[in-house]
Amino acid sequence: MRMVAVGLAVVVVDQAAKWWVVHRLAPGIRNPVLPGLIYLTRVHNPGAAFGLFPYQHILLSLGALGVLFFAWWRRRDIQRLPAGMRFAIALGLGGATGNLIDRLLRSAVVDFIDLGILPVFNVADVAIVTGVALLSWFVLTGRDVAGPRGSRGGT
């Protein structure tokens, strides 16, 4: 149940931020938050991260739906994972859902966080990248936020 809450929180924050951006910012104009460092720039990305696969929203939507279906199908296995891994998966699934909503409603993803040195991104992207990074760390180190996997009675 906590996984659902984390994923839902990501979707709500992501969609609320995108709603604000769409209703308050003109497309393509850099609005300084911390000049020289952080800007809000409304961009409608018709592709995936870094502009890959432009105008393939149907393919990208089917991919996201496939990931969500796979997680639902393996939910019992996921529930047995350590808490940190479940948290990481929930972040990723919440982010995937947030961007999927955009693709279904707009045929493009609303991006708005502009650091100048990276492509413009959004809250869902941050959740996906953070979830993948955490999950990778847990897998590569054999550790979770609760400690080594073996320290929990062999689970």
Residue 90 · residue 6 · CB < 8 Å? yes
The CA-to-CA distance between both ends of the chain, in Å, stands at 20
Residue 50 · residue 41 · CB < 8 Å? no
Instruction: Specify whether 111 is catalytic.
Output: yes
Residue 109 · residue 102 · CB < 8 Å? yes
Q: How far apart are CA 94 and CA 100, in angstroms?
A: 10
Rounded (10°) CA dihedral 125, 130, 133, 136 = -100
Catalytic residue among 14, 102, 111, 114: 111
Catalytic residue among 102, 114, 125, 144: 125
CA atoms within a 13 Å half-sphere pointing along the CA-CB vector of 19 = 8
Please enumerate in sequence order all residues whose Cβ is within 8 A of that of 56, keeping only pairs 6 or more positions apart, or say none.
47, 48
The residues assigned a catalytic role are: 111, 125
